[in-house]
Amino acid sequence: MLPLLETSDLATRLLQQCANGVAKGSVYALVAVGYTRVYGVLQLINFAHSDVYMLGAYFSYYPAKWLGYMPEGAEKPKVPFYVLGLAFLFAVSACAATGMLIERLAYRPLRNASRLSALITAIGVSILLQNVGQMVFGADPKSFPRYMDQESVALGPIAVADTSLVIIVVAAAMVGALHLFVQRTRTGAAMRACSHDMRTAGLMGVNVNATVSLTFALGSAMAAVGGMLIAMDQPRLTPTMGLLAGLKAFVAAVLGGIGSIPGAALGGLLLGVAESMVGAWNTTYADAVAFVVLVVVLLVKPSGILGKSGREKV
């Protein structure tokens, strides 16, 4: 009897780690689609993307503060549902605007410059956003409004936070919707045309500048949702919170095949689950896994799991 009991214990534990990994990976996926779309269109690794994710978390914090629900206290009422909606709309639209602004001011003037210049500019914008964040929001960690009561939900033998379930569902819906948008709509077709050959797309009547702007807006909106979801689950905001999450999401995008939306989703989930599974064995090495995975994938299949191998686009 005993060995059987132990096996089922182990199975439960691995199942729980799997659930932890899927929740973690869903956020990576949300952020990774932003990297992947921008890379697909501009061949630019937008390092500032992880800081837009950070802004998303802060932008969804402030509506609750302005309406008087922060800081929390025993005598304060629960945050009503409409504030959650307001926070969502505010974070998404403010981040989309920030993304478009970054593109307009920092990247568009360099569109015909060498890719290295654009890359260095991206790193510069990232550092700028982190430091402005420290000046405006302050360096000490902030807690996050309780938009949802964090409660334990039993799923058979395992238990997860309801906020983790929300993360998984919302992330899947958003990534799916983005994929459909890119594949099925005329605007999506324009995006694909630009990523295929920007100059020819322009000659065919595609408004290239507007399409690139939209790419940034959509990617940034996704990052904003990611930042808000993670803050609901793990309520601690810091101006540098995007650093590690952005790095992981970037690894996820490369893992899945940079340029591909389903690839980014798959890469995010794989990375999240791999981290949790390694963590089940030894938590000290869990973070290192992300980067070992990146090195291995680049060695074996440089284009990523779902990436198209082929000639470098010019």
Partner 1 sequence: MRKALAAVALLAVSLATACGTKIGPGHDDKEVHLGLFVSTSGEIATFGEDTKKGVELAVEEINAAGGIKGKKIKLTHYDTASKPEEGKAAATKLATQDNVFVAMGAVASGISLAAAPEFQKYGIPMVSPSSTNPTVTQQGNYIFRVCYLDDFQGAACAAFAQNDLKAKKAAILQNQDDAYSTGLSDFFEARFKKAGGEIVAKESYKKGTSDFNTQVTNIKAKSPDVVFLPCYYNDAALIAQQCRAQGLNVPLLGGDGWESDKLVPNAKGALEGCYFGNHYAEADANPKVVAFVEAYRKKYGNAPSSLAALGYDVVYVVKKAIEDAGEFDRAKVRDALAKLKGYEGVTGKFDIDENRDARKSISMLKIEGEKFRFVRQINPSEVE
Residues that bind partner 1 (CB under 8 A): 9, 12-13, 16-17, 20-21, 23-24, 71-74, 139-141, 143, 146, 150-152, 154, 159-161, 163-164, 230, 233-236, 238, 240-241, 244, 275-276, 279-280, 283-284, 286-287
CB of 128 to partner 1, least distance (A): 21
Nearer to partner 1, 172 or 280 (CB): 280
Exposure of 9 by Cβ count < 10 A (0-12 exposed, 13-18 middle, 19+ buried)?
A: exposed
CB of 41 to partner 1, least distance (A): 31
CB of 292 to partner 1, least distance (A): 15
Nearer to partner 1, 205 or 281 (CB): 281
Region of residue 205 (left: phi > 0; alpha: psi -120 to 50; beta: else): left
Nearer to partner 1, 11 or 127 (CB): 11
Full 3-state SS string of the chain: CHHHHHHHHHHHHHHHHHHHHHHHHHHHHHHHHHHHHHHHHHCCCCCCHHHHHHHHHHHCCHHHHHCCCCCCCCCCCCCCHHHHHHHHHHHHHHHHHHHHHHHHHHHHHHCCCCHHHHHHHHHHHHHHHHHHHHHHHCCCCECCCCCCCCCEEEECCEEEEHHHHHHHHHHHHHHHHHHHHHHHCHHHHHHHHHHHCHHHHHHCCCCHHHHHHHHHHHHHHHHHHHHHHHHHHCCCECCCCHHHHHHHHHHHHHHHCCCCHHHHHHHHHHHHHHHHHHHHHCHHHHHHHHHHHHHHHHHHCCCCCCCCCCCCCC
CB of 163 to partner 1, least distance (A): 8
CB of 153 to partner 1, least distance (A): 8
CB of 58 to partner 1, least distance (A): 15
CB of 224 to partner 1, least distance (A): 18
Alpha-carbon gap, residue 197 to 5, rounded angstroms: 59
CB of 55 to partner 1, least distance (A): 17
